[in-house]
């Protein structure tokens, strides 16, 4: 009998992996921005939600 392969193709896996890395990099960028803002202004006590990040 013919067995159907239900796993995603290699190109779909690569696209998903790239999307995940883009999301991870965006999160890292947000945290880096928050760190820089805190370093520049010691009185800054904002959360990421306050800045819309």
pLDDT at 53: 56
Q: What are 39's two structure tokens?
A: 């370093």
pLDDT at 44: 53
pLDDT at 42: 59
CA dist 2 and 13 (Å) reads 24
Any domain includes 5: no
Residue with tokens 């896996």, as numbered in its chain: 13
pLDDT at 28: 97
Any domain includes 32: yes
Any domain includes 29: yes
Any domain includes 33: yes
Domain assignment of residue 27, given as a range: 16-40
pLDDT of 4-39, one tens digit each?
A: 666 778 888 898 999 999 999 999 999 999 888 888
Any domain includes 52: no
Any domain includes 3: no
Q: What is the number of structural domains in the chain?
A: 1
């Amino acid at each position: 009998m013919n067995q159907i392969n239900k796993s995603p193709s290699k190109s779909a896996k690569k696209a998903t992996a790239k999307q995940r890395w883009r999301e991870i990099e965006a999160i890292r960028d947000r945290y880096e921005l928050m760190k820089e803002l805190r370093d520049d202004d010691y009185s800054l006590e904002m959360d990421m939600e306050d800045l819309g990040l």
